[in-house]
Each structure stands twice: as structure tokens, then as C-alpha cells.
Structure 1
Amino acid sequence: MLDTPNTPAGPDRLDTPEHRRPGAILFVCGMNAIRSPIAEALARALLPSGIYIASAGVKRGERDAFVDAVLEEESLNLGRRQPQTLDDLEDDYFDLVVTLSPEAHHAALELTRSSAVEVLYWPTPDPTGTTGTREQILDAYRDVRDRLKRHIIDRFVAR
């Protein structure tokens, strides 16, 4: 289940310009199959519903059953959502683009070159190269999920 940190009374660190919550966030990775859909699902659960959140890939990928498994552990799911590319996005206006792989970062910088969109790079490992037992592979996916959750909480959730 998703846990959010207690928010003690006092100044909200999101009041500083570099930590304001954007109105629209796009998470981008290589194929929109693992890292960016996990980030999208976590952000939807952790952030206020008024924030528009989407994800896409540089190339088209295929849905990954391990993603469904590690999201289910957090009582989350992707529903019928399928991987999409940047070209598939219905809306292309975002205040913030968070990239999760070098390829995605390069594409996002190119895409936003002439606009005032903030681009953040959160290097996130690709768990698909993990070998071993099902549990070892799931642990690699859990690591990705937990890293992204920490990033989202640290960047967007008031403490």
C-alpha cells in the first residue's frame, strides 16, 4: 500500500519556485513499458487529482506483466492502458517532463527546445536485463518502483 510521509506543520517546501507542483507532468522512458508507466501510476496515487499526469516512450513498447505485479503490491494498476509514444500523446502541453533514461532525456530536450518546459532527468535502471528466479526479477522491478516513489515524494509531496 502507498505510504506518504507525515507532513508536519510549518513551511511547505513546495512554496519555493524550484519545488512548485506543476499542473501537468509527463514521464518519459525508452518504450513506455516499465519505468514511465510505473511513475505515472505512482504520481496519480500520490499527487492531487488536479494535476494532469501522463507517460510516453521514445519508441513503442509492449506491456510488461512484472509492472502489473509490482504495482499490484501497492494496490495500483494500469487498467487497460497500453504503451504509447510521444507522437501518440493527445495533449502535448506539460509544465514538467521527467525523463527516466538517456534516450528519453535526449528526446525530451529536443522536443522542448523552443518552449519553456522544465525537463528533469531521474536516471532509472532498466530491470529487463535482470536474470535469475522470478523473485529476483521482481526485486529488480520493485527497486525501480521504490526509486521512482522516493523521487516523486521528494520532489512533489510536502514534508
Structure 2
Amino acid sequence: MGSSSPEPPAFVRLAAHPLRWRLLAALAGSDHRVRELVDLVGEPQNLVSYHLRLLRDGGLVTASRSSFDGRDSYYHLDLDRCAAALTGTAAALHPALRQQSTPELPAGGAVLFVCTGNSARSPIAEALLRHQTEGRVEVASAGIRPRAELHPDAVRVLREDFGLDISDRRPRHYDTLTGHRFDHVISLCDKARETCPDFPGHPRRAHWSIPDPATTGDPRQAFAHTAATLDTRIRHLLPTLTEGVQP
């Protein structure tokens, strides 16, 4: 007497579709707008939008309005949700497949974070990546219109939540890094993405569309959320630095 086959887990049903898999793969490297995803996957916009809606309904993809152009939205892949779904999918097949590994720390490379004022998001990201890689990666941050000083809540959240002190750091303009070679350049605000210059050596470019915590609700809560978001994104960045592939 045979046993009935269980239904595939939701993640399998979502990700197994060829176009949805290509969208997930594109968003694994960078946040994108719909028209960029249309170009990347080579499919009509209405079809891309339909499958993006299914991925959003499934909790794997989120969308947020661009702070540069409110008519645009950036789509973001929730890698933590994907990791949990993949672990659950493997365990659904056999308990022995429920395995997690600790990412190997990268041994080198250079990463630049860019935002508008270089006073909040990018210095937070710089400090967190340096901390997570134990100083093994060269990390810098810069702004397209740097402010006079760091935002005090950026200093506070790193000190209180992560035990990191950046109080002696000052914002700087990206032109102070002219001629410097980076392996990865990651923009953290939508305006910086549109105006970030090219750097020598053709670094891998990625965009993380993260709202400015200084203009989002309660500053203490907003900065804590921003730092936690960056900490998660950087944790997922580490394996790509080790493997030398696009973040």
C-alpha cells in the first residue's frame, strides 16, 4: 500500500518557476527597479510585474518607493526569509538535510559604501563590515554631498548596539578617493546610485535601497532599524566577498 506524496513546500512552488527564479537571482545581487528587471530577464513588463507580485505575496521580495524619484520602486530580496525557506525545504525532504554552515571570513578585497551625506548609512555600513570581517577587508565610505559631521544617532546606535566607536570619524567626499581601486562599490541611497561616479578597475556595483533614518519616524528607532538592516545585508555579503562574485 503506497503512501501519498506530500505537496512541495511553498518556496519550491514559488522559486521553481523559471522566470521567478531569474528574478530572485537578479535581486540576490542588488536592489532593482521594474524596468531594470525587465532588461535583465528579457521579458515584458506586465509579466515581470505579475511574477514580482507573487514573490511579494510569498514574502520573499519587498518593495519600497525610491527616495530619488517617488514614481519608482526598488525591489529587494529578503535573503533571511529565503535562507529559512531553503532550510525548511531541505528538512521537509529529510531531517538530515537541515544543515547550516558558518560563512568563511574573506581574506582581502576593498569595498566602498556610498550615500548622500556620508553621515549615517554609509559610515554605519563601513564600521559593521570592518567589524564582521575582523579588519581583513579594506572598507571605506563616502558621500556625494558630505555633511559637516556624523549624525549623532549613527554614533550612538553603533556604540550602544554593537560596541563600536566611530565618534572620531568625519564625512568625506567621494572625490577624495579618486584613483583608488575597489572590488565592490555599494550605493545605499537612491540619489547616490544615480550620481555615483565610476571608479577605476571596473568594480562590481550593487545598490541597497535604504531610507535615510534621519528623516524616517522616531530617530532612535529608525537608526536602530537601519543598523540592523545593514548588519543583515553585510552578513549576506560576506560569502560573496570570499567567493569573488557579485554581492
TM class by shorter chain equals 0.7 to 0.9
Residue number among 219, 226, 235 corresponding to 1:137 in the alignment: 219
User: Measured at CA, do residues 60 and 71 of structure 1 come closer, stay the same or move farther in structure 2, by a change above 3 Å?
Assistant: same
Residue matched to 1:3: none
Question: What is the number of residues matched between the two proteins?
Answer: 139
Asked whether 1:119 is paired with 2:205, we answer: yes
Deviation of 1:104 (Å) = 1.4
Asked whether 1:52 is paired with 2:138, we answer: yes
Name the TM-score, length of structure 2 as normaliser. 0.51
Task: Decide whether the 8 Å contact of 2:108 with 2:136 is kept in 1.
Answer: no
Asked whether 1:99 is paired with 2:187, we answer: yes
Indicate the structure whose relative CO is greater, using CA pairs within 8 Å and at least 6 residues apart.
Answer: 1
SS at match of 1:81: coil
Task: Decide whether the 8 Å contact of 1:22 with 1:95 is kept in 2.
Answer: no
Distance 1:26 1:65 in 2: 22
Task: Decide whether the 8 Å contact of 1:36 with 1:55 is kept in 2.
Answer: yes
Distance 1:97 1:22 in 2: 15
**Unmatched 5+ residue regions in structure 1?**
1-6, 15-19
User: Measured at CA, do residues 40 and 149 of structure 1 come closer, stay the same or move farther in structure 2, by a change above 3 Å?
Assistant: same
Deviation of 1:22 (Å) = 6.1
Large movers: runs of 4+ above 3 Å: none
RMSD: 2.5
| Residues 65-76 of structure 1 aligned to structure 2 (within 5 Å) | 65-73=152-160, 74-76=162-164
**Unmatched 5+ residue regions in structure 2?**
1-99, 243-247
Distance 1:77 1:156 in 2: 22
Task: Decide whether the 8 Å contact of 1:21 with 1:156 is kept in 2.
Answer: no
Deviation of 1:90 (Å) = 7.0
SS at match of 1:111: coil
Identify, as 1 or 2, the structure richer in helix. 2
